[in-house]
Chains A and B, each alone.
Chain A
Amino acid sequence: MNHATLLARESFIEKRARERIRSLLDPGTFRELLGPFDRMESPWLPMQRIVPQSDDGAVIARGALGGRPVMVAAIESAFQGGSIGEVSGSKLACALELVLAECQKGNVIYPLLLLETGGVRLQEANLGLAVIAEIHSAIAALVHRVPVVGVIAGMVGCFGGMSVAAGLCSHLIVTRQARLGMNGPEVIEQEAGVDELDASDPRLVWSVFGGAPRCRDDLADALVPDDTGAVREAIESAWATGLPATRRSAQLERLPLPSPAPVTSSGAAAGAVSRGGEWLAALTGGKEPEHRYSAAVRSADAPLGGEMARFIAVVPDRENRFPRARDGEVGLEQAWALAREVCSVTRADRDGKKRPIVAIVDVKSQAYGRDEESRGIHLACAAAVDAYANARMSGHPVIALIVGRAMSGAFLAHGYQANRILALDAPDVLVHAMSKEAAARVTRRSVRELEALGDAILPMSYSIRAFAQLGILHARIEGVNANAPSDSDVLRVADAIADAVADARRGPRDLSSRLTSAAARETRKASLEVRRRLALEWPPPREP
């Protein structure tokens, strides 16, 4: 490349989120929705004495790109690391839902996501995770109708729950300066040790997460230079290509799954007892569970409220070929196996009655490992999200039953796309974006400080009662022995699941029930206000 070519480039990376959108749109067409002067800022940051931003770090705009009507959502990486909070995430989710509504009316608007984000904002933990599940749901619905294009330019990259969103996109455009992964290198080093991944070794980090290897390994579609014109051309060419034949998150054969050894009652492979495994056995009458795709993903059909239902649990697997996913984590194998498991149900019921799918949730985390990242654990989780979301949208009542830990990426992949979420109110049942110890290290707080904050700041709490106050839970089941359920405990829980199935069948097939609950109206005022105002500003102003 000569100097003239290099100097003629207009850097895309150096632009802030709003400038990025402006530079891509056709001149004079930029119209921002819920901009800085609407002052929709995070209600949770000032409570923690952290300065908020007037747009909460998310810029939503409508306009035209190459003559096409578009909605662009960009995350501002300079504000809180591009993290997703209740407001910024709701802006993205709602904008995507509004595009979906237009597309359903036959009015095609092209959605474009400029992703520059570390994932969930830990200061808004559970609400960040909840809105990311809503973003996933909207993308999973949209990709059937219009190509959803994602751009990761750098320098922050795209991590955490938002890497799963990237995995759900129809087309992904990256630069060499982009990074994409479920867990960032520092998090892996912290959780799994420096032998697993040395975050201070840039060559190693870029060889795993960088835009170039992601493109080489077919985890992204186009590698472009850091040039605004090149980014725009790649976006237009992605839209011109149209919907991919099989979207990446539905390419279920990507990870070969060896047929696992048969489960035996003594079960060396099965061996490890877990709460999830216990509840699977209890709710399916001790029936021998199947494990078609992985010894760590068990399922069984059993009667529920007068019909058959499919119960699915992720269980520890001491001999799993991936050492970072042997203790109940959702790793590559588990996530791809979940996707196949759920898809096998939707395929079998395609022309008949859609049986309920019950995700029994006891997942300690996603797997933290170099191998996991190299092979794209974010896409594996996206495949599971895609499968659950499509099961729900096609009319299967999908119920998540939290019997133990429901942590971050693992919960996004296994449970968070359910129509209804139930939880046992028992010790060690908890929902969160990161384990206490890890969150304490990342936010430079002690575990005790974190617990104190959780008492004051609802979405930061680890307790299931606080989680229930967010309005996301359909029901909290009290007085059940979670470790050793009695027969009457099991009956009560089965009844609660059957009620949730009936309720899900009566309601819409999206996740809107989480926002209409009495608790949500109280706690998620900001989410609701974002949706109300964004919908108001959505239609183009009439010409005078």
Chain B
Amino acid sequence: MKNIKNQNKNPGKDSNKILLACALPGRKYRIVTIYGGYGLNSRLHAMGIIPNGTVTVIYQTWGGPMTLAVKGVRIALGRGMAQKIEVSEVSE
């Protein structure tokens, strides 16, 4: 995390940035940054995971993949991917 440059557009809003891999089940998060290349970006976007979009963590296996609710669809996301996505919690 240390060497990742801050790409985030509204720094003030996202004081509590965490990696999606560490997100808690049942909570809603806003996606801040995806650290991926063209391929991963396009794929995640097509599945509805996109900066400024929201996701709700449904199930965490801690160490394995997780499931998310994204735009009305359930998505399984591998841990490797989840470590490349930075989110901040949205309070409802």
Tell whether A pairs with B.
no
A contact residues vs B (CB 8 Å cutoff): none
Residues on B close to A: CB < 8 A? none
